[in-house]
Amino acid sequence: MNLDELIAFFHGLSSESVARFPEFYSADACFKDPFNEVRGVAAIQRIFAHMFEQVAEPRFVVSEKVVDDRGAVLIWTFTFRAARWGGGRTQLIRGASHLRFDAAGKVSYHRDYWDAAEELYLKLPVVGILMRGLRRALAAPVSSVNP
C-alpha cells in the first residue's frame, strides 16, 4: 500500500467512505486511541462511523509523515463541530498516529496519541473549570529569575 493513498483516504474521510477501511487495514488490525481499544477492521469502522454520529464536519489533515521500513508516524490535526458541548464552534485536536504495516502493506496496528485533557476536557463547560484549576495547582511555579 502507498502511504500517500492512506493519507488521501483520511483527508477525504466521510461517513460513506468508512466502508473502504478494508482496502487499507488488515482484517485483524489493532486500533487504540484515548477512548477505544479494538481489534478487527469491522470494529475500527464502527469507531469512525460513530465519530460521524457524534460530531459534525469531522476532518483530518495530515501535516507530516515519518516513515521507515517498519511503519510510519503521521502528525495530524482533526477539526469538527460539536453541537452538544462545543456550542457549534469548530474544535481542533492535534495528534499523531503510529502505524505498522503487515506483509501485504495494510495497516495492522494504529495507535493515536493526543492529549484528551488539553484538547478536549479543558474545553468542556463544567469539567473544563475543574481541569483548569487542577492544571494551575499542579504546574511548576514560574520564576522571574533565570537559572
> Is residue 112 scored above 90 in pLDDT?
yes
75, 64 in Cβ contact below 8 A? Answer: yes
For the full predicted model, state whether its pTM sits above 0.75: yes
Higher pLDDT, 90 or 141: 90
For the segment 54-72, the average pLDDT, to the nearest whole number, is: 94
For the segment 83-111, the average pLDDT, to the nearest whole number, is: 88
Quote the CA–CA distance of 71 and 135 in Å, as a whole number.
35
Higher pLDDT, 113 or 123: 113
**115-133 pLDDT tens trace:** 765 555 555 655 555 555 6
pLDDT score for 70: 85
pLDDT score for 134: 58
> Is residue 85 scored above 60 in pLDDT?
no
Distances (CA, A) of 33 to 37, 66, 78, 121, 129: 7, 19, 13, 15, 24
- Going by pLDDT thresholds of 50, 70 and 90, the confidence category of residue 90 is confident
> Is residue 83 scored above 70 in pLDDT?
no
Quote the CA–CA distance of 113 and 94 in Å, as a whole number.
9
Structural domains present in the chain:
3-138 (3.10.450.50)
